[in-house]
Amino acid sequence: MRMQRISTVSFDMDGTLVTPSFANLIWLEVLPQLVSESWGIGIDEAKAQLFADYKSIGPNRMEWYDLSYWTKRYRLEINPRKLLLEYKEAVTLYPEVVEVLEDLRNRFDLIVTSNSHRLFLDVTSEPLDGYFKRKFSTISDFGMMKDTASYRRVCEELGIKPNEMVHVGDSLELDYVRARRAGVRAFYLDRERKKLGRRFIPDLRELRNRLLEGRF
């Protein structure tokens, strides 16, 4: 009976469904190379400047995640969407992802709740098109970081109560602490097994098993 109260399973994207390889390639290699070529400076100098600016903005501001912001800041004459599509083959799923989604898709509504900008989210989620009822970019859709309010907005959009949703992600603060504050049943995905907790899991197979067995 307990399992029937969960209608929706929400997944973070980067670090949860897909590895960081694509994001790292864009932010740490491709963008510095474009800055180097556009500004006529060496790649090491371009990286030093760009990485210093990344640090000055920091991950708690929405600009951090917005490729268009960075291309404009550095006056790069490129189309951000076309750039991401050019490198989309670098998007890599974690090994268990398809298996887990297949096992859950007929029992729950599956959604994505991500901090990624919509441009990134559309590209990284493309290999999984067909599995998700909705894909939310909290920054693009709600104009806010992933927070208690954004989780509640997601539930409002879906017409469900927070305790009818399970969310899983690899950020202890963004995906676990803030989701729980919103009343969502959250799991922290700790693939490196560095922390211990009742709702801390090493991979998505463990989430699937708990959901199907009603252990949440």
Predicted TM-score (pTM) of the model is 0.93
Identify the domain boundary among 50, 66, 89. Answer: 89
Are 203 and 188 contained in the same domain? yes
Domain region containing 199: 3-19+92-213
Are 144 and 101 contained in the same domain? yes
Could you state, in chain order, the average pLDDT of each consecutive group of 10 residues for the chain (216 residues)? Answer: 74 98 98 97 97 94 94 95 97 98 97 96 96 97 95 98 97 96 97 85 96 87
DSSP state of 87: T
Are 48 and 113 contained in the same domain? no
Structure token pair of residue 93: 């799923």
Structure token pair of residue 138: 């909290």
Q: What is the pLDDT of residue 163?
A: 96
Please identify which residue in the block is written with the tokens 């990284």: 124
| Residue 75, CB-side half-sphere exposure with 13 Å CA sphere | 3
Identify the domain boundary among 89, 106, 130. Answer: 89
Query: How many H helices and E strands in the chain?
Result: 11, 6
Are 79 and 122 contained in the same domain? no
165 touches 9 (CB < 8 A) = yes
Q: What is the pLDDT of residue 1?
A: 36
CA pair distance 111, 136, nearest whole angstrom: 8
CA pair distance 207, 46, nearest whole angstrom: 41
Q: What is the pLDDT of residue 3?
A: 43
Q: Are strands 134-137 and 8-11 parallel, antiparallel or unpaired?
A: unpaired
